[in-house]
Structure 1
Amino acid sequence: MNTNAPRPSPAAVPSPSHLLDIALAAASAAADYLRGLDRDGLAREYKTSSHDIVTEHDRASEEIIVSELRRLLPTARIVGEEGGERPAEQPADGNEGAEPVVSFYVDPIDGTSNFAAGLPLFCISIGVAVDDELVAGVIDAPVLGQVFAAADGDATLNGRPLRPRPTRDSADALVLSGFPGQRTGAQFPEFAGTGLRALEDSVSAVRHLGSAAIELAYVAAGWADATALTQINSWDVAAGFHIVRRAGGSVRTWPGAEGVQRPDHLQPAYVACTGQERLPVLDALQDELQALRAATR
């Protein structure tokens, strides 16, 4: 794939493979920046709590990505974790609303707590949608040297295709998840306790990597059987959902407290599996949580 992506014609929506090239170029620029940092003694700030932190490098990484995306496709909308929604700099053909909307969903550092602590389990995640349909995605773990990507062909790891693999039976399954998470645990403590126990009793092992995007990438690669979270944002999962599906996996989502069905990457709760086979305990737990959320509306 060409990471020095040329500008597309302003009147045309780029192909999925071209959009992937643009995302790869932006992710690569940010990865170069992050690899060059001395991560000892990083200053951190708290957004909503001590579980939700940000560093100056999250913001710098996002600005690098946004600058590259703006250079290569100024007609695109960008939704970033740190900068929020940035509308297109110019309409696709000079007539706003006449063309499909290309959106980039950008997490400049997914796994900021890992990043700030010196762990290598963090990544850049860029998902691409055209009119809310995911068409491309890249997850770049710069210290690990792993670049997962997909457009309309095979999902790849460092350019090599990821082949479909079945989801193992529950007793042999490895799940990557921080289920149920801090916010869900605080709101529904009884469900959190019994649900986590049910999950751990039903599968071989549960591990939490601290990065939703990396967990999705590793499920796509077949290194784990499933991943699930109960509260998430679009920039965390847009790339990963697309990569999982192009690798032969399956994704199911739930609408959360509002109960409004949206495109999968805009839903707050999900279970992704490495194959089409599902892990019943995870889907059942999300069904139970959805019922609890509906009852509180």
Structure 2
Amino acid sequence: MTDITAPTPRAWLGIALVAGSALAWSYGGAIQRFIGVEDGWTIVFWRCQFAGLFLLAFMLLRDRFDGTIRLFRSMGWPGFFIAVGFALVSTFFVLAVTMTPVANVVLFLASIPLFAALLARIVLKEPISPVTWGAIFAVILGVGIMVSSSIGDGGSILGLALAAAIPAIFACMTVVTRSYPGIRMTPAACGGSFIASAIAASQAGTFAVSGHDLALLFCFGALNLGLGMALYVTGARMIPSALAALIGTAEMILAPVWMVILHNEIPSGRTIIGGALVMAALFTYLINHARQGPRHPDAAAA
């Protein structure tokens, strides 16, 4: 008798694509550490320029010219809001990594689902289960431990503030996508990349970089940010959103590992303890959410 609960080939493909996106996103901080450009705004300009061009080429290949134009036209103001949010988080990630350990930045990213749940409770009046409340408090405790470690070691308060702003912005984006579930993420990410690049162009001291750094910036933009987004939006349409979120946690686990292997950037003891609390809270929340089933329609992934 056939097991009807077994994943289909399409589901396995979706799992592989989402896992690939987590892998692609995980080495962003490690690539940035190899780049010899001192001006963070110059890095943002080139990274987001390459990411925007990659995503534009991806849409043109997938949807052709007319389809790509329709995707941008259908974004509306909610899609523009998501694009601006994507521009901010892309910028803040680069600037934060220049000021604070990558592990701290990535572990702040791990708290995004819980920030989103808390904001959805405030704005959309969505109920929060006791498990989610417990996870939120655990994240607050874990982040507090991480922050105390960084400040104690002379870490940048501005870098930590930029890292902390990323999940807050993502939470706002999540509330918008739940209110307008027809938002398409690929054109929003593409537009956001070009917005971030334009902002960085007005702040960068120079656009001149060496050929070696330009190659790294291409990888940082196209193969880290752009390819990761393309893999995710393709794979997330094939599997449940809760499963995609669980697989996506591999990014938070792999990113500090890359830093240890490639740059010998070993997290402090308090960062490891705080990060363990954050990851445990995230896994608890996502597993509980998967068991309950989604209450709200997801935004259009593509």
Question: TM-score scaled to structure 2, two decimals?
Answer: 0.31
Q: Which has the higher strand share?
A: 1
Q: Which has the higher helix share?
A: 2
Question: TM-score scaled to structure 1, two decimals?
Answer: 0.32
